[in-house]
Structure 1
Amino acid sequence: MAVLVALGAFLMTLAGGWTAHRVTDRRHLVLGLAGGLMLGVVGLELLPESLETAGTEVHGVPAALLLFVAGFLLAHLVEHLLAHRPRALGPARAGETPTAAHGAGETDGRTPEVGLTAAAAMVGHSAMDGVAIGAAFQVGGGMGATVAMAVIAHDFADGFNTYTLTRVYGNAHRRALAMLLAAAAAPVAGAASTLFVTIPEPLLGGYLGLFGGALLYLAAAEILPEAHHAHPARSTLLCTVAGVLFVWLVVGAAH
């Protein structure tokens, strides 16, 4: 049953990626929505779940929060190790040296490896979604149905974000499509794995905290600044707020 339900997550992930691909003429709106979805998933789902699941403390601080900060710093470190960013030159005043303009150009300052690393993290997250479905069905049919509804609903955001993260860093459509297909298949594989293996709750909670920190960095430091660069802020901001509200509605319905 868990594997069959996970097929719904497969289709919803593909739908999210297809949506991200079709609206390339409104790139700033796509990025604004993606940033809101990522922020909502981190703040309203990943972090609360990690705090509840990984209940241990390290030197007075919940382990999930430490891993959350570690994930943020890890994403920051990976970006700066992989991205030797050529900065685009902005207009200079008379007598001054041209200055770097953030986000100029479609792929200026973007390194494809960063996008692939981020998308790979999304694939891992999607696999854990499948594991969550399988584990919930081991508890009971009602629990499994509730978790499955939340996973299937937010996998639209996962597909949307996987495709967007891959493309925004300059990867070709073929690579983005491959990562999208991997993210779509991951929940099915994760659900199937629960037939053979059970992941301890503290380990699962720690993973969610680590991934949440990395995702927050990508949303706050890369996706949202790029979305608001050289575009009217009002429509983009509305898309960002809509993304957060969508995740809130999904999480609220699941509970």
Structure 2
Amino acid sequence: MAVFVALGAFLMTLAGGWTAQRVTDRRHLVLGFAGGLMLGVVGLDLLPEAMEAASEKVYGVPRALLLFVAGFLVAHVVERLLAVRQTAHGAEEGRVPQVGLTAAAAMVGHSLMDGIAIGAAFQAGGAMGATVALAVITHDFADGFNTYTITSLYGNERRKALAMLFADAAAPVVGAASTLLFTLPEELLGSYLGFFGGALLYLAAAEILPEAHHDHPARSTLLCTVAGVGFIWLVVGAAG
């Protein structure tokens, strides 16, 4: 049952990626919306889940928050190191394709965890499984949208963006199937969500949103960002 439901996440992820590539003539609006989606996912979905699953304190600070900050810093350090390396090889400093691929790979890892969450929830009961599946399927549209957008933003070829999109779409199915063999400990899942949330916030705040307003500092772009956050709020509220 869990694997069958995960197929819905597969289709929804592809729908998100298809939407992102179809509106390239409004790139600033796409990026503004993507930034809002990412901000909403981090603040309204990932971080609350991480805090619930990994709330034990390490020297006075919840583990989830420590890993959240660590994820932000690691994303920043990795991007700077890759940019410096590119400059050292004679290339003009700018967006490094490897950063986009790394970020997309992290999205794939997150989708894999989504599939594991679906499988574990169905092991706990049908009602719990249905609730988690609804949450995953609805926000996987945003995952697909963001995966394609991030990969393309950093200058990767369309075929690579599509490859990462398909990997992101397949990941929930693989994750759900894997729960037939094992279950991920809740504490480990919470730690991962905290770290991933920090990295995702860095991409949204330091890369996606500034790029969205770079050439088109329009009110419509800002409204798209707010709409992205509002969309995730509705998804989280409906799932809860």
TM range (shorter): over 0.9
Matched, 1:25 2:10: no
1:64 aligns to what? 64
Give the 3-state SS of the residue equivalent to 1:231 in structure 2.
Answer: coil
Aligned to 2:129: 144
Equivalent position amino acid for 2:145 in 1: F
> Following TM superposition, by how much is the alpha carbon of 1:40 offset from its aligned partner in structure 2, in angstroms?
0.1
- Residues in 2 aligned to 1:180 and 1:19: alpha-carbon distance in whole angstroms: 12
* Superposition misfits of 4+ residues, deviation over 2 angstroms: 84-87
Residues of 2 paired with 1:108 and 1:188: CA distance?
38
1:40 alignment partner in structure 2: 40
- Which residue in 2 is equivalent to 1:2? 2
Q: Counterpart of 1:238 in structure 2: which amino acid?
A: L
Report the CA distance between 1:85 and its aligned residue: 8.5
2:118 aligns with 133
Q: Secondary structure at the match of 1:232?
A: coil
Return the structure number with greater helix share. 2
Alignment-derived partner of residue 55 in structure 1: 55
Return the letter of the residue paired with 1:220.
Answer: A
Asked if 1:227 corresponds to 2:234, the answer is no
Is 1:200 the equivalent of 2:185? yes
Give, in whole Å, the separation in 2 of the partners of 1:229 and 1:157.
Answer: 23
Deviations 1:6-46 (A, max 9, x none): 00000000000000000011000000000000000000000
Encode CA deviations 1:61-101: one digit per residue, 9 max, x unaligned.
100000000000000011011123989xxxxxxxxxxxxxx
Among 143, 154, 159, the alignment partner of 1:174 is 159
Whole-Å separation in 2 of the counterparts to 1:81 and 1:133: 36
Tell me, yes or no, if structure 1 residue 157 matches structure 2 residue 142. Answer: yes
Structure 1 distance, partners of 2:103, 2:56, is: 28
2:83 and 2:93 in contact (8 A); partners too: no
The normalised TM-score by structure 2 is 0.96
Which residue identity is paired with 2:32? G
Unmatched 5+ stretches in structure 1: 88-106
Identical positions, percent: 80
Report the residue type matching 2:38 in the other structure: M
Q: 2:195 aligned with 1:218, yes or no?
A: no
Q: Do the aligned partners of 1:129 and 1:187 also contact (CA within 8 Å) in 2?
A: yes
CA contact (8 A) 1:111 1:170 kept: yes
Per the TM alignment, residue 112 of structure 1 is displaced from its structure 2 partner at its CA by 0.3
- Determine the structure 2 residue equivalent to 1:98: none
Counterpart pick for 2:172 among 162, 171, 187: 187
Query: Cα distance 1:202–1:51, how it changes in 2: closer, same or farther (>3 A)?
Result: same
Q: How many residues align?
A: 236
Contact 1:85/1:111, CA 8 A, preserved across alignment: no
AA partner of residue 240 (structure 1): T
Determine the C-alpha separation between the residues in 1 that align with 2:83 and 2:164: 20
